[in-house]
Structure 1
Amino acid sequence: MKLVVLGVGNTLLTDEGIGVHAVEALLRRYALPPEVSVIDGGTAGMELLESLEDLDKLIVVDCVRVGQPPATVIRRVDDEVPAFFRTKISPHQIGVSDVLAALQLRERFPKRLTLIGIQPQSLDTGVELTPEVAATIPAVLAAVVEELRRAGVEVAEKS
């Protein structure tokens, strides 16, 4: 089994960086088995392609506009996911959209795809998350861990 947790976002635009901050917290807090790769995708685009080919499951953590109050955490799966990257809130999402499209064209798309999305409070210039969005990190981690467990992965907190 081959799984990737991909955190994407621009850490120079406050809440836009939530995906990166979340995967960093995941690595600090949890011991993950070798079949799970955690990637800080930052604002990368097509350079992620090879890392995401032929996966059993891809979990993307990102800032998304969902028309909900700030700091709302959502989960979308499979065919629901690409639609979120058609409405761009930052340039990196063009990259994610292109990577997903390229994986599909190459017939190397993940078997299962999950988006854990977080509604931003602010996209202003700044390296810190807003307090509201920073407070979602435990819920985001719980959602990622639940996705891994659904895939049959044993996840344990580090001591």
Structure 2
Amino acid sequence: IINIFFFTVFLFNNNNKNVWSAYNQNLNFPYEITFNEPIDYRTIIEPFIRLIMGYTTVSIEPKEFYWFAWDITKKPCRLVSLIEAQQFNIGDGEGNKLYLNHVVTQPKYEHQKIASTLLERVEQYAWTNNFNVIELYAPDDKRLYRKYGYKLKSQTGDQMFKKKS
């Protein structure tokens, strides 16, 4: 409950600056998300619906791609929305940045290419920053993306990416 409270406070306090910081007590540093365009308020409602539904896929139909990063305790620590033709960066609070830049023109036909690129870079970033639960959610077809060569294991509605065996 405390984690959710801090997540909400940071999220709304930084909304006007288009920067969200969610302080995660377990990993002990803030996650920063920077958007170049105004934030879609549906991205604020999404994590709370997911919490109520037990981290299951929900029927929200925005035109964005989402990926959610959870720490090893399965508490929400970061939410990122990939908006069409938009660049965003992810910071770990210590000056390290991961830059992604994708143009989503035809989502239904570009799933595999986008998912492969995102998962490759996000997976590498995640394993070097001490959290191992990553979920990439496609709201248009209600499926989780899968990167070839990686095994997925379902645990209480979450999907854990395992390193190649």
Question: Is the pair's TM-score, using the shorter chain for normalization, greater than 0.5?
Answer: no
The structure that is helix-richer by fraction is 1
Q: Which has the higher contact order (CA 8 A, sep 6+)?
A: 1
The structure that is strand-richer by fraction is 2
TM-score (norm 2): 0.30
TM-score (norm 1): 0.31
